[in-house]
Chain A
Amino acid sequence: MGKCVMIVDDSSSVRTVVGIALRGAGYEVLEASDGSDALKKLGGQKIHLIISDVNMPGMDGLTFLKELKKLAAFKFTPVMMLTTETAADKVAVGKAEGARAWMTKPFQPEQMLSAVQKLVLP
């Protein structure tokens, strides 16, 4: 069984595109439509990496990151933000809350997969 990556994004097409790239590289993929949905779906299986958007309705990505790090089981789960946001203050907040990487859209699959490979839990 391959490693599991969770994608959190309110855009269905982004989840599909990221999912195709990840599945093509042999990862299992779990999808969530925003932070709240992601928190509900955690707990079923080991998550090796989370890729999250920042601007989402409901619970945004930075709030989700903060809530995630409060959970003992996911304290050390690496999170990469995948977003159109480039504002330095937002990036700083993400870094402070524990994000391991910040990637802006549109992304190149090779670059994203390289980052995933570096960050994913063993």
Chain B
Amino acid sequence: MEERVDTFPRCLLHHAKVRPGHPAVREKDLGIWQTWTWGEVAAEVRALACGLAAEGFKRGMHLAINGDNRPRLYWSMAAAQALGGIPVPMYQDAPAADITYVLNDAEIAFAVVEDQEQVDKMQEAQPQVATLSHIYYDDPRGLRNYRNVTSFDRLQEIGREFDRAHPGFYEAEIAKGSPDDVAIMLYTSGTTGRPKGVCQAHSALISAAQGGIAFDHLTADESILSYLPMAWVGDNLFSYAQAMVAGFTINCPESGDTVMTDLREIGPTYYFAPPRVFENLLTQVMIRMEDAGAIKRALFHRFMKVAKACGAEVLDGQPVPLSDRLQYWLGNVLVYAPLRNVLGMSRIRVAYTAGAAIGPDLFRFYRSIGVNLKQLYGSTETCAYVCLQPDRGVKFDTVGLPAPGVEVKIGESGEVLVKGPMLLKEYYKRPDATAESIDAEGYFHTGDAGLFDAGGQLKIIDRAKDVGKLADGAMFAPNYIENKLKFFPHIKEAVAFGHGRGMVCAFINIDVGSVGNWAERRGLAYSGYTDLAQKAEVYGLIRECVEQVNAELATEGELAESQIHRFLILHKELDPDDDELTRTRKVRRGFVAEKYGVLVDAMYGGLASQHIETLVRFEDGRTNMVAADLRIEDARTLAAQPLKAA
């Protein structure tokens, strides 16, 4: 009889049989990397699943999971699936109020969480969540005197007893599972309105995982660092679905702050990160290079020039003159290889970025030093699997070719429509939303505006609903402008306004690490973010960036009208805790426009400064008022230039 490997619990059993001694999970604990093999993971999950069953967890129930990427939390996902339940991973930094909504929406009764912090949040939410009855924790620290919570170890003990008393129960539960069952429910980040639960079936995730594995020739020998929020579809596809299908190793970092070190120690072969992670890494490298000795600095700049000139071509296997090739070889020995090593990227075969636009310079930098960084396109509803860039077909402004098994077309309004086995089953309890996003022909409406380029690769311009018009009718794509601004290392966030207005204005958030370092090197004293942001010198620095963006926009046809006329630097960093960003750090433009309405009015009213007071919420929930007088400055704009012939 052929073994069916069509649900995640069956994948787990399969690997435990085929490669029982192969490392499945590593975690750095007390300074040492601990390893669990597939055989051991299968036993852990079995004990856990039996424990949950003994405690009353039933087929079809939801299991809340909240915490950093810990092996035991991944095992909890597998355990819930083994019983026909549905794991619901949550954003670990969300405050109790946000969690309450999800707990109620998903009617959570059982929750497995990481530590005291998460237990506190669950217990805070409990009075408003009638269903929540069982809370389990991984790390016992500080929880000694808590009531009504159970440790993970105890749960597994209960499970082992239950397993002995009910032989064959676990196997029977797995046998009951069907590939069409919902495997996981992920909540959308909610740029608009309340988050919706996206139900993904085993078959959808497994087909997306198989497609990606075949596309990039992944094997069981890959090693990946699992450090992105478990509630994000990207982590789910790469750290869970693909690992479960291919049987490769996932590595859990020691803590959120040690990711850089852990990355270096593990040296993953396969890597996935949103652009901001690549950006932070590069910023750190650049800051350290500025502080390095003169010889090192000269070497670095000398060979980065070489890399810029021919690095990407060498990686793509394109013809490169022999002299360049020799210089690149020397640069590789002296600079690029050591640099890749510092970044923890020595062993990387394939790296992906997605989730937001990546700056061309940033993208080229990694490719030019020999890191095979590519882009992909997808969303929670499509298992992060719609388009992938093939090796040797990488462009910075596209997101790649339709992935194997996926159909992509552009709708009449310019919206990207997709169809394939990886589509969501439904939005939880929201048939209206499901019907709205999947049309009669089975195409999912992504809500992104895009087009295909000459090579057949998809290019995403903006969110379809965000594309607006200026007062004179010219197209206004705020994301496009904001991304251009954010490509500068000094600018962390930007919010562009212009829909229905005569001109474009922008809010800027400076990157306090990068601008702070810049200020230090100039001997510019400052007391904190608010103070630094309002320095005349900093305004000068940012004005240069804005004017450079204007110069680029001036050459882009219709978008020339979108040049930024006025800007200001905000007195506080936009933050998800203040609802200004989503948990995945996307700007909630409408909310920001409303909250800072006085500032928008001041910009359009031609004022040179404006006083503002804002309530700031700290991570522990306390609030504080921040007041400042913000300068508003003008930026030079250029006359529109004719489109350059390509």
Do chains A and B interact in one complex?
no
